[in-house]
Chains A and B, each alone.
Chain A
Amino acid sequence: MIEEIFQIEKHAYKDSYIHRLDARVKIVLAFAVIIAIVSVPYSIMVYTVGAIFFGFFLFLWALTQLSPRVYLQRLIEIVPLWGIVIFFQIFLKNKYYTDYHAVLTFPFGIAVYSESVEFALILLVKFIVSISFIILLSSTTKVQDMLEGGTRMGLPPDFALILGMMLRYLFVFGYIYRKVTDALVTRCFDAFDRKLPYRYRLRQMGYILGTLFIRAYEQGERVYISMLCRGYGRHSFLYVKKKSLGRGDLAFLSLSMAIVIAVPVVVWLAPVRLI
């Protein structure tokens, strides 16, 4: 996962209307959409709300001027594992339905129920919408901007300092990860090579990870000493300049929040349903 950070940050450094928005606006929007879609009850109402939110996402993605391939690549990296869990829902019963009707039956009592298929689709819609807005947020916001945005929104200073340091060193460890994997390839070591004894492979991986752990700790010690040299102490904190939201940011945020709040309410109250 760590090697993706370079690509994500590369996308975040591009320029577009969405990229230029204040990080706080994008954080609030992404979190609001996720909370809104997750708050919608497990009912077919999710289809309509999800479709509108996804349309809104596509519109915003078009404004980012990033290729759809970027979005799809990131989606494909995230979806598979939980996609399988969602797929298996079609064979299972849950507490949200009382009556189940089998549409397909298999040996050993396995059956596909229409209600379970519906529930799986509801989960899938919620999952895809949530992930899409996280991809939008991280693909258009630099890591440092996100941290500053979080701090301006009230992230405790202690935590902001620690999180900031961790984020900074993620890139360092991204490089170290690359170096280590390159070194393994150079030495023709493959942890998945079945010709090698399993115990040997695991022991080597243990040593590699142990070395990485020690490097991380020693890097931490070096950073700590460097920070002490620069006057770091008990009362140090991450300085983030105060900044008000611009008119454009406020207008975008107001309009977006109106959509995010209105869509589920309108779909709930009015018969605006896709199905």
Chain B
Amino acid sequence: MHIPDAFIPIPQGIVYWIIALVFVALALRWAKNEMSEEKIPIVAVLAAGIFALQSFNLPVSMGTSGHLVGGALAAIVLGSPFAAVFILALVLIVQGVLFGDGGITTMGANIINMGVIGGFVGFYSFKGLMGITRSMPVSAFLAAWLACLIPALAAAGEMFIAGTFPLEAGLVAMGIYHAIIGIVEGMVTVGVIYLIMNVRPDLVDMGVKRPAGA
């Protein structure tokens, strides 16, 4: 899902960068207001932890593997989509500049896809589904699945606008692959939230209150 340099022309890359910077600034403001400025170090260290979390390969099917993106997880546990924007922006900067995973000119698009879209979709679909189903596992699973699938479709759309991949083929390829990966993302996210709720319920209470179905 990390779009590398070359796949998006510079003018479009600038537009995505501007949008991403607006959300990063909003996320920074959220961190200062909601978490209190002094607690920002916790999120910084948590971002390093999420980076490590993404390094674990998870079995998908037929010998293929995937890894957790963690956007929905961060948003649900910390109780705000801006948490995901903040953490994923940090992670993507390090991945792009240090490891060459993703790109410099495409970093704005990647922050929008994984941080903004992933975080907002993950958080609000979790909240909405919790209201309907009252079940944490079902809500978290579907929220994480959607937070994996929709950013991938957005990436396919961006590459179509860039003219580097046809829309239909992109949507089908990215959609199918991430719909499968998303199942693993969903199941593991449920496992992680379940564990946190049992071991450190106070962490989850920071944002989303303990769901009745948990």
- Chain A residues engaging chain B, CB cutoff 8 angstroms: 1-5, 8, 30-31, 34-35, 37-39, 42, 74, 78, 82, 85, 89, 92-96, 123, 126-127, 130-131, 134-135, 137-138, 143, 146, 158-159, 161-163, 165-170, 172-174, 176-177, 191-192, 198-199, 201-203, 205-221, 223-224, 227-228, 232-234
**Which A-chain residue is minimally distant from B36 (CB atoms)?**
A234
Q: Which of B45, B90, B104, B164 contacts A220 (CB 8 A)?
A: B45
The contact size tier of chain B is 35 or more
A161 CB contacts on chain B under 8 angstroms: 40, 44
Contact A38 B192 (CB under 8 A): no
Total A-B Cβ pairs within 8 A:
236
Contact B6 A126 (CB under 8 A): yes
Residue pairs across A and B with Cβ atoms less than 8 A apart, 22 shown, are A3-B55, A4-B99, A38-B6, A78-B101, A127-B7, A134-B104, A158-B32, A162-B44, A162-B90, A165-B44, A192-B59, A202-B184, A206-B195, A210-B194, A213-B46, A213-B50, A214-B203, A219-B49, A220-B43, A223-B45, A224-B38, A232-B41
Contact A123 B48 (CB under 8 A): no
- State in angstroms the CA–CA spacing of A158 and B77 once bound together: 23
Contact B192 A210 (CB under 8 A): yes
Contact A170 B94 (CB under 8 A): yes
- Chain B residues engaging chain A, CB cutoff 8 angstroms: 4-7, 9-10, 13, 28, 32, 37-59, 63, 65, 68, 73, 77, 90, 93-101, 103-105, 163-166, 169, 184, 187-196, 199-200, 203
Closest 9 CB pairs of A and B: A206-B191, A216-B49, A210-B195, A126-B6, A220-B45, A220-B42, A169-B48, A130-B5, A173-B52
- State in angstroms the CA–CA spacing of A34 and B73 once bound together: 33
B interface, over-half SS: helix
Contacts A213-B192, A214-B203 given: A96-B163 contact, CB under 8 Å? yes
